[in-house]
Amino acid sequence: MDTKQEPLGSGFGFETSAEEIVAGLDLRGKVIVVSGGHSGIGLETTRVLSNAGASVIVGSRDPQKAKEVLSDMRNVVGLQLDLADPRSIDRFSEDFLSSNDSLNVLINNAGVMATPLTRDSRGYEMQFATNHLGHFQLTSRLWKALKNAQGSRVVTLSSAGHRFAGVDLDDPNFTARPYDKWVAYGQSKSANSLFAVELDQRGKEHGIRAFAVHPGRILATNLSRHITDEDLKVAGIRKENGVVTSPVGIKTIEQGAATTVWCALSPQLNDKGGVYCANCDVSEIIPDESQLDAGVRQWAIDKPTAGALWELSEQLTNREWAS
């Protein structure tokens, strides 16, 4: 039975921290991969999971930087991972599989936002290539280990930014239409959500459930490094005398990691999947024309679109998904 895209009444909320989610949990023996788990909410996710006893493998474009940040954490290993480079993804996966037969949780956390027009070596637009295609390939390569866990989860970070655009299946790489960094970001975040929808359909018979996560509006991360003051003004965010004001509540990093950890671990989601979540609960569907951060637009959870995106992603990555 499909999981309804409607709140569960989890008892958690906007101010819940990742620490609160893991309180009382013993994760010893669990193996978890976190892409980008060395900075921002990814680092908080790694910290909380490792403190609860999990073995965490962190994928990072800069292994030396990750080593410095992660050196004091127990049961944490950093491996090189560039999601815009298919060869790097393959090497990371091979390194992981050489030491691990199973994977309990894959957290597709890394990403870029609102970058100037950049293309990878294949000519693919960088936000779509990194945020979606890179994680698509990574999940494919780790599929066997996820199946071997006999009950695993894949959590992919989307964003309320999915409201900026759906996925243009005819021109995902902006070869025929003008490039807009926010449309490109929105497309990649809609793709992240659609990926969770189709992945859950394909994975649940193997005990693999998938979720998309909006972590909340968080300013203190590297994700916002390309954001200008003008971009902030457009979003309604103001900085005056060091004080940030916003029409939408701003979360701390500790709060921003909470929904990821909830989707990865909560027993409230047993036998559920294929849904978009925020504030440690399943989100409601809201009208496509809404500009609110809250909720999920229908285009980001549409099953036919999710299936079509899956087929396109297989073509673009030249990788047919293993059964």
- The residues spanned by each domain of the chain are 18-218+254-317
| Marked catalytic residue, from 124, 179, 185, 276 | 185
pLDDT on residue 222: 53
141-161 pLDDT per residue, tens: 999 999 999 999 999 999 999
pLDDT on residue 226: 47
Phi-psi region of 296 (alpha: psi -120 to 50; beta: other; left: phi over 0): beta
- Regions of the chain where pLDDT drops below 50: 221, 226
185 is catalytic: yes
Name the amino acid, one letter, at 241: N
User: What does CATH list as the number for 18-218+254-317?
Assistant: 3.40.50.720
HEC string of 195-252? HHHHHHHHHHHHCEEEEEEECCECCCCHHHCCCCHHHHHHCCCEEECCEEECCCCECC
